[in-house]
Structure 1
C-alpha cells in the first residue's frame, strides 16, 4: 500500500557538527513535530552516517545509514562561494536520494531539515488534495531558538529548505543511487530554490499551500546558515532601523508562540 507522504530528514556527518548534543536535541524536536500529524498516512526516513548517535524515534520513522565522508567545504570560510554551495547541495542531495530510494512507494515527498518544524495539518491537507503536483510553502514562520516570538515570512519557499511537498513521480528518480548524476542530485534534491522553476517549466507547477506549513529555526549554535537571532534579523539591525515602514511591517509580522502554535507545530 502506497504511503501518502514520506518525510525525508537528512542529517549532516557528525564530523560537520560543532555540537552533536545540540543537533540531537533539535532533531528530537523535529521528530516530535513530524510525528504529531493528525492524519496517520505518512512515513519518515532519517538519513545519517554510520556511527551517528540518533534519538529514539516513534513508530513511523526509519533510519537509513550511509557512509559518505564529511563535507570538507561545510564551512564557507576559506572557500569560493559557488564551490561551497555546490558542495553543500551535493552532500545534502546524496542523503536525500538515499532516503527517497529507500521508500519509493509513496505519493509525495517532503524534505525536512533536521532542526525545523512542520504543521500537524500537512498530511491531512495532502489527503484532501491528492491530485495536485505538490505545494510550496509560500508563507511560514521563523522562530528564534527557545524564544517566545515568531516572524511570519511571506517568501518562505525561497528562504527555508523545509518548504516543498512534491509528487514523487515528478522527481523522476533513477533506478539506483549509482546512476544518479551529481547535477541531478544537486539541482533536484540538494537545493530547494531551483526545483520549483524546473517543474513549472515542465508544465507541472507547484501550488501555494494555503496555510503556514512550517517553522524555520534560527539563531542556534548549530545552524549551518549562521543565522542571527530573530530580533536582530527583523528588528534590531541598522538596515531595518533606518527604514521605519519596513520596521513597522516587521513588527506587525511578529506573533507570540501561543499554546495553539505549540500544538500545531512543535508537537506539544
Structure 2
C-alpha cells in the first residue's frame, strides 16, 4: 500500500484560494489515476479546498494550529508544510502502508507508482533521478535528466517502517524540527548513510509544475528552461500524468 501525503497551504496565505484549489484538484486527479487500487491520499490542510473532484481513496486531515510566524516567507511556509507532512506521516500509520510519498499540491505524478510499490513491497524506496518540468498553459514540457529530486519535493518514495517518525510528535516546533521531511534533495544521501539505500525510479515519475502563481519556493521567478530539453506535450504524457489544462 502506497500512501500519498499532500500538504496544502492555508487560504490565509494564498494569493488566490481558487487557484490553489484548482491546482490541488488536478493533483488529486493525477494521483488517483493509478493503475493499482492499492493507495490512499491524505490531504493535510487548514481549510478544505473548493473542488468538485472526489474519490474514496482521498481523505482530508484538517489541522487547527496557528500558521507559523517568521520574517522569511519561505521559512514560514516550509515550517507550516513540515508540520503538515509530519501529521500526514502519523495519520498514514492507520493504513499500514509499505511506502509513503510526499506530493506537492500543484504537481502531477505517473499512474504507475502504486503498481511499482505493490510489486516491490520490501524495497527501501526510490528517488526520482529524472523528471519533467511544466510551465502552466504551454503545449510543451521540459525534461530534467539528472537530480530531479533536488528540484522538486515530489521526488521520493520511502518505505514507511524505515522512517524516523517520533512516537510523540510535536507540531509547534520550528523549521529545524521538520528538516528531514523538507530537505528532499538530501533524502537519497541520508537514506544511504543509514544503510537504507534507495533505487533510482526506472522511469519518469513526476511533473514539477510552474506558472500557477502559488509556488512557495520562488522558483517560478528564477527557473530557467532550456529549449534543448523541450518536448511536445503529447496525449501519452497527459494521460499518464493526468496533466490537463486548468479551468479558466
**1:146-196 alpha-carbon deviations (Å, 9 max, x no partner):** 211110012210000000100011212122323997577422212212322
Give RMSD over aligned pairs: 2.3
* Mapped contact 1:16–1:71 kept (Cα < 8 A): no
The residue number in structure 2 matching 1:237 is none
* Mapped contact 1:117–1:216 kept (Cα < 8 A): yes
> Which of 131, 135, 138 in structure 2 is aligned with 1:144?
135
Look up the SS of the partner of 1:43 in the other structure.
Answer: strand
> Which of 31, 36, 40 in structure 1 is aligned with 2:33?
36
**2:247 maps to 1:258:** no
Worse-superposed segment, 63-72 or 114-123: 63-72
Shift of the 183–11 alpha-carbon distance from structure 1 to 2, 3 Å rule, reads closer
> Which of 144, 150, 165 in structure 2 is aligned with 1:173?
165
Deviation at residue 89 of structure 1 after TM alignment: 3.2
**TM-score in terms of structure 2 length:** 0.88
Q: C-alpha separation between the residues in 2 aligned to 1:89 and 1:222?
A: 14
The residue number in structure 2 matching 1:164 is 156
Q: Give the number of the structure whose alpha-carbon radius of gyration is greater.
A: 1
**TM-score in terms of structure 1 length:** 0.82
> Which of 181, 188, 207 in structure 2 is aligned with 1:189?
181
* Mapped contact 2:41–2:57 kept (Cα < 8 A): yes
Shift of the 143–63 alpha-carbon distance from structure 1 to 2, 3 Å rule, reads same
Deviation at residue 87 of structure 1 after TM alignment: 3.6
What pairs with 1:11-22 in structure 2 (closer than 5 Å)?
A: 11-22=8-19
**1:58-112 alpha-carbon deviations (Å, 9 max, x no partner):** 1100010101222434xxxx64xxxx55444322111011111112111100000
Q: C-alpha separation between the residues in 2 aligned to 1:12 and 1:54?
A: 13
What pairs with 1:33-112 in structure 2 (closer than 5 Å)?
A: 33-49=30-46, 51-55=47-51, 56-73=53-70, 79=72, 86-104=75-93, 105-112=96-103
Look up the SS of the partner of 2:219 in the other structure.
Answer: coil
**2:2 maps to 1:5:** yes
Shift of the 181–196 alpha-carbon distance from structure 1 to 2, 3 Å rule, reads farther
Number of matched pairs:
240
Q: C-alpha separation between the residues in 2 aligned to 1:127 and 1:158?
A: 26
Shift of the 53–89 alpha-carbon distance from structure 1 to 2, 3 Å rule, reads closer
For structure 2, the residue ranges without an aligned partner over 5 or more in a row are none
Q: C-alpha separation between the residues in 2 aligned to 1:142 and 1:183?
A: 27
Q: C-alpha separation between the residues in 1 aligned to 2:198 and 2:158?
A: 8
